[in-house]
Amino acid sequence: MNAASLPETGTLMDAFFSRDSSYDGVFYTGVRTTGIFCRPSCPARKPKPENIEFFRTARDAMFAGYRACQRCHPLEVPGETPAWLGELIEAVDADPARRWTDEDLRALGVHPDRVRRWFKAHHGMTFHAYARARRLGTALERIREGDRVVSAALDHGYESLSGFNAAVRGLIGASPTASGKVATVILRRVTTPLGPMLAGAVGTKVCFLEFADRRMLERQLKTLALRLQCRFLPGNAPALDVLSEQLDAYFAGRLQRFNVPLQAPGTEFQRAVWDRLLEIPYGETRSYADIAQVLGQPTATRAVARANGANRVAILIPCHRVIGKNGSLTGYGGSLWRKQRLLELEQG
């Protein structure tokens, strides 16, 4: 959701600290010190202004690493909340690492389709996306709290990454905590109007930028670990400060070209495709066939599409500017609605 759809910060602050219930559903507030997000009317003790951030949807708050408040129940809809919802949310909170199946839902006495429709209608995501957000949110919360090894943080409460630590050992032949012979990628969460992203830098170069709710996030991290022979650590780096500033300027319409240095390891063909993406002017698009033609391989359209999808530095290497030959948006790892928003932003 575009941040422009939120009221101005002063209005948000006033509504939150006055517990104005008329703003319930308009925005949600994340409290950095507790890792909890609330509705504006929450009766809990209010935190200091510098410790809060605002979100347009509960979905955005969850993928930013926050869990629902147990006092104001921001996932519930007054007057429309079914009886089964509370029990289901409690079950997810009790075991955030669990990967839910349709059979698990039936065991609780609810039909999977009913659950999916309710979450989709009220929160813009399916129940399985909610459970995935809860897992990923727990991991990001650990990163924000300063876990020393990000692979361990991701392993906590996010079962699809539970083998990541062992996988890195297998890929690079060393523990992610080992020092010396492996490169270090500093990971940090950055916020954008389209949702939180996970950014990574190695030395002075940005090597990773993906939306936190991307389905293939763990695969992209594992591929990067293989390519760079690296370990992951949470923290901050000058390159990530520059990246954050440039992303803010980009989404505000003040920046058309990023100049933060990049490191994007890949196959020779992938790098050739990514170089062509960097040549697509701001506000313009190209088709996969166009890229293949420029590469001198007109029959390699599908290979170009695969290389486009393998890009691990979203927005900066503008894979969102590549569309189908008929003008359709086609695939995008960060979801098609984001691809549409990015193109709208660049095309004014």
Half-sphere exposure of 199 (CA within 13 A, CB side): 28
First to last CA, the chain: 17
CA distances from 162 to 46, 92, 139 (A): 35, 17, 11
Contact criterion met (CB below 8 Å) for 129 and 136: no
Is 38 tagged catalytic? no
Number of H helices, E strands in the chain: 14, 10
Looking at the DSSP bridge assignments, the partners of residue 186 are 201, 233
| Count of Cβ atoms closer than 10 Å to residue 208 Cβ | 24
21: tokens are: 């219930």
Rounded-to-integer distance, Cα 335 and Cα 252, Å: 21
Q: Which residue is it, tokens 């994340």?
A: 30
**Residue 200: partners with Cβ closer than 8 Å, 6 or more residues away:** 185, 186, 187, 188, 206, 207, 208, 209, 224, 232
Q: Which of 38, 69, 230, 319 is catalytic?
A: 319
- DSSP class of residue 56 equals S
SS3 262: strand
SS3 281: coil
Looking at the DSSP bridge assignments, the partners of residue 230 are 183
Q: Which residues participate in catalysis according to the annotation?
A: 319
